[in-house]
């Protein structure tokens, strides 16, 4: 059975993007952090996106600037299999991307039952909430950044309380703290 992992950058006040959808506050470029993200990008996973995150990622990772600035991550992002959930997109042009217009929870439930690499959700707060509500997320990897945004897009908009158990932490010199959570069962 495939596992679902959520990876998100989160402000101290719980937002994954500011009120304009900007995430530049989460882009740290120091050597320790770049080494961590490059190593993380080597993991074998099929990526899952909602439309907004997909369009942001597809607009950046295939560019020469991405290949120059973060070559290992850009290569992994471009070569990895991807799924974008959207009822409004007509096509998904980023290489190795499949467009799914049906219910994300139903499709991820089907995908989890298959053999293959893990399933990684990046950003995509709406998809995270839907998969959390359906009990499909196996692990949350949250990068806590030392910034309060005041307003923006929340990571969770769940219907019920969802207890999570902290299983691991890592503190970086730049102030980022990675928190690994699993559903408390």
Contact criterion met (CB below 8 Å) for 84 and 49: yes
Domains and CATH numbers, the chain: 4-16+26-176 (3.40.430.10)
For position 29, what pLDDT does the model report? 77
Q: How many CB atoms lie within 10 A of CB 16?
A: 24
- What gap in Å lies between CA 145 and CA 2, rounded to an integer? 29
Each residue of 27-75: pLDDT tens digit?
A: 877 889 888 887 877 777 999 999 999 999 999 999 999 999 888 889 9
pLDDT value for 35: 86
- What's the pTM? 0.91
């Amino acid at each position: 059975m495939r596992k679902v992992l959520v990876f998100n950058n989160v402000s101290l006040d719980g937002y994954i993007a500011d009120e304009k959808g900007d995430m530049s506050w989460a882009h740290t470029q120091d050597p320790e952090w770049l080494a961590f993200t490059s190593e993380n990008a080597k993991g074998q996973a099929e990526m899952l996106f909602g439309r907004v995150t997909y369009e942001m990622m597809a607009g950046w990772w295939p560019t020469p600037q991405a290949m120059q600035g973060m070559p290992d991550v850009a290569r992994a992002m471009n070569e990895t299999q991807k799924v974008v959930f959207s009822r409004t997109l007509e096509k998904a042009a980023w290489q190795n991307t499949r467009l799914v217009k049906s219910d994300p929870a139903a499709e991820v439930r089907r995908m989890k039952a298959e053999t293959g690499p893990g399933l990684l959700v990046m950003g995509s707060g709406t998809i995270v909430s839907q998969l959390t509500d359906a009990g499909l997320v196996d692990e949350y990897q949250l990068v806590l950044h030392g910034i309060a945004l005041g307003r923006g897009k929340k990571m969770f908009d769940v219907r019920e309380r969802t207890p999570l158990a902290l299983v691991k932490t890592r503190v970086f010199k730049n102030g980022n703290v990675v928190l690994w959570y699993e559903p408390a069962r």
